[in-house]
Every structure is written in C-alpha cells, then in structure tokens.
Amino acid sequence: MIAVLTADLIDSSLYEEKVLQEVLDTLKQEFEAITQEYKQEEVRLQIYRGDSFQGIIKNPEDALKIALQIKTAINRIHFKETLKNKAYSKIADFKIAIGIGEQDLEREAISESNGPAFQFSGRSLDEMKTENRKTKLKTDSEEINDEFNTSLLLLDTITDKWSTASAEVVYYLLKDLKEREVAAAINISQSAVNQRKKAAGWDAISVLLDRYRAVITNNLVNRR
C-alpha cells in the first residue's frame, strides 16, 4: 500500500520564463528537503514534462501533508521586495491528485511505474482538468473518497484565498515549527504570525491533516 502524487502546474504555458524557472528550482529544493525529512527510501519525487511532478510515498498517511508542503513552497513564491507585513497574490499553483493503493511495478522513472495507486492518481488528475478543484484523493474505498473529496474541496476554497504571506506561514507550520520559530524564520513578530495563521485557516487545516492520518492509517494501512 502506497500513495502516489501526480500534479500539473496550472496554466504553465502562460508563465514567464523566470516564474517557471523559479517554480522548478523551488520544487527541486523542496523535494530534497522532503526526502531528507522522511528518508529517501520512503519518499521519491520527480519532475517530468517540465511542468508536472510525480511522487511515491511509502507511508500513505503522510501523503496529504507532503502534498501541502509542496503546494505551500510554490504558493509562497513572489518576486517583489517584501516589507515585513506585505502580502502578495500567488503567482503559481498546482493541481495535485493523491492515489492510494497497491504498487505492481516500481521503475527508476516513476512515470514508468504501475499499479492501482498510480492509476487512481493519474485518473483523478485527468478528471480534475475539467473540474474547478486543485486537490483530490482516490482509493478503493468510496466512503473514504466521499469524505475526503468533500473536505478537500473545502480546503481548495481556503487555499485559493491565501496570499503569499499566508502560504509562507503555513509552509513553516507544516514543518512543525512553533509560532516564535516561524516569526524568527521570516523576520516578523509572533503576533503577525498568529494573525496570518488565522487568516490562512490553519486550525481547520490541522484538524483535516489529523483526520486524514487517522482514517488512512486505521482503514487502509492497518489492513495490509
């Protein structure tokens, strides 16, 4: 039982070259950080086609958090000189599909690997191309799919309203930093971190992450 992430950069053909270059550089840096955090044998992430990525996550209960770590790393990108309390509109985002299931074949190139988890993820991303949503989950359990695809639609509604400043705070919170540590990392006050945390809907996101981990662990991982 694994999780597969499949993602496409939204409207990549409209990006200026410097934006696309920054997105790809940021992705590579974040992939390195995530594989170090979760151990390389547990997480594999690869860019393909120049505007997409795929990942294999051996512990499916970590998949949503990792997807959000990647999303926030990209959502916080901006090119303007930033005052301490200045927020800007996001300039880059991904559609990300999470598929959870078995793996029949693992190749060095993730795009050449196969199994239900890959099929669930790829088909979900294809469906999302005609849907106004950015995050979707598919497993072999319709009950789990129904629960989380409702929750993830609400998550999309929250994250669509993020500024780069909101995304940056969530990025560090996902790394389990305390408010004072986030404040030190981005050189703002702890009260400003708290305000951005509330504006980003962090409390609801944290509850969703806990619920996801519990449901996936109890209903899919533990049945192996």
The answer to whether 194 and 166 have CB atoms below 8 angstroms apart is: no
Of 9 and 82, the structure prediction assigns the larger pLDDT to 9
State pLDDT tens for residues 157-195: 999 999 999 999 999 999 999 999 999 999 999 999 999
Encode burial over 160-188: b for 16+ CB neighbours within 10 A, e otherwise.
eebbbbbbbbbbbbbeebebeebbeebeb
Checking if the pLDDT of 83 tops 60, the result is: no
* Tokens linked to 78: 């901006």
CATH number at residue 208: 3.30.70.270
- pLDDT grade, residue 110 (50/70/90)? confident
Checking if the pLDDT of 55 tops 60, the result is: yes
pLDDT at 86: 60
Number of domain units in the chain: 1
Instruction: Taking residues 64-78, report their average pLDDT.
Output: 95
**Average confidence score pLDDT of the chain:** 90
Of 105 and 197, the structure prediction assigns the larger pLDDT to 197
Q: What is the domain range of residue 54?
A: 2-223
pLDDT at 112: 73
Residue 115 has a CB neighbour count (10 Å cut-off) of 16
Length of the chain: 224
State pLDDT tens for residues 16-31: 888 899 999 999 999 9
Among 133, 160, 161, which Cα is nearest to 149's?
133
